Structure 1
């Protein structure tokens, strides 16, 4: 290995490490996945045992609130836990209103469908959603749109992956909503929680790991501020000798 190759490999390794860390932060990591799966798993488990909508709904809602409480005690970020609570709450309210236990899953299914279409539509519009989500995480904001075409292409590929994977998931779940019973739908939905998600995250990592590094717009702004302060200090330094010269004259 030459001295020129090693820095390049180190830079690529650092870029991949940053990408992994950013994806882990953006999508909640292992704990985020657990918080996503557990309420639905508890709902379908309780319903499979006793066929009681009320007890199933209460169990799912209680465990969601407990997950939030744990994060509060640990002073951790609440974003993923709160999203889980709201999702469970919508499902509980909807199922209670209709009296159909399968409707506990319907809001989440509709959200998945809407999200899949959002990924596809924004990509067609030239503003891929995954770039809007990850841009602030990478401290590049929207610089990838006009200043980093290779990165924009990677975000477009990743958004297509998310959109099509989620659309495929909907193609399985919505027919089951009409044809299967509550327990069957619930177990299939739980089984489809993690694998498609992990596949989409992995594809995102693959695309971004091969893309150009993000442009740190925050660092650029800070550097510009420092340069402006230096220019002002230099200007003040030039003015002071001139003032003294005039007074001496």
Structure 2
């Protein structure tokens, strides 16, 4: 066995590489559940008691428990930590709303604002990466092959990465398109604030992991149609 064979990636095609990396990025079913549960609890508790503090305590507590379980099981804590940080940022926005004189409805609405801003920012970055012909998914390929930019030398790989990045960006765009008007309607008094909080909570859950799974399935479909070698030159050597 030569030294060159040790350096070759175990995946034979770009599609296999991307499939593996995307699965890790999403965290599987468990990672998606860990992201959804705190939001469900926050929404249910707030709409039940109409107070922000108990809703935050319950959602933060749930995220903390999920994190402890991960630690005890010695499994990756990435997705539990992500959920905890997300709730913490939402709580900070809600606290600032309270200091600014906002009522309980305003505070609860503020809890959802960071997620809307995050998705908007993420969408802008990914769309810019496509426009500049440096699609984000390309760097996933580069991280596995060991050369972060070599993939750009193959137009076929660039095209594949561009299409996959579009599939990644669409859920972010849809979340902003749906949730931003709900937030504005509640904040501007165009609709009942508690109702808008419920709608935002429902939208965040419905457009969270279910939409991400749909995007992943679309990616799997795209990946199943092509077989692009990771190292085309190795096929001819």
Shift of 1:101: 0.8
Moved more, 18-27 or 169-178: 18-27
Distance 1:204 1:53 in 2: 38
Moved more, 184-193 or 101-110: 184-193
TM-score after normalising by structure 2: 0.77
TM-score after normalising by structure 1: 0.74
May I ask how many residue pairs the two structures share in their alignment? 205
Determine if the alignment matches structure 1 residue 187 to structure 2 residue 187: no
Distance 1:164 1:109 in 2: 14
Distance 2:63 2:17 in 1: 31
Distance 2:81 2:43 in 1: 21
The 8 Å contact of residues 171 and 211 in structure 2, kept in 1 or not, is answered as yes
Shift of 1:123: 0.8
Moved more, 69-78 or 131-140: 131-140
Query: Over aligned residue pairs, what C-alpha RMSD do you find?
Result: 2.5
Determine if the alignment matches structure 1 residue 213 to structure 2 residue 229: yes
2:176 alignment partner in structure 1: 170
Shift of 1:43: 0.4
After superposing on structure 2, the runs of 4+ consecutive aligned residues of structure 1 that deviate more than 4 Å are 12-19, 137-140
Unaligned stretches of 5+ residues in structure 2: 1-10, 99-106, 187-195
Q: 2:122 aligns with which of 115, 120, 125?
A: 115
The 8 Å contact of residues 13 and 228 in structure 2, kept in 1 or not, is answered as no
The 8 Å contact of residues 141 and 151 in structure 2, kept in 1 or not, is answered as no
Distance 1:134 1:197 in 2: 20
Higher RCO, Cα 8 Å, sep 6+: 2
Distance 1:142 1:81 in 2: 31
Shift of 1:131: 2.2
Deviations 1:60-84 (A, max 9, x none): 1111111111111111122222111
The 8 Å contact of residues 175 and 207 in structure 2, kept in 1 or not, is answered as yes
2:102 alignment partner in structure 1: none
2:42 alignment partner in structure 1: 43
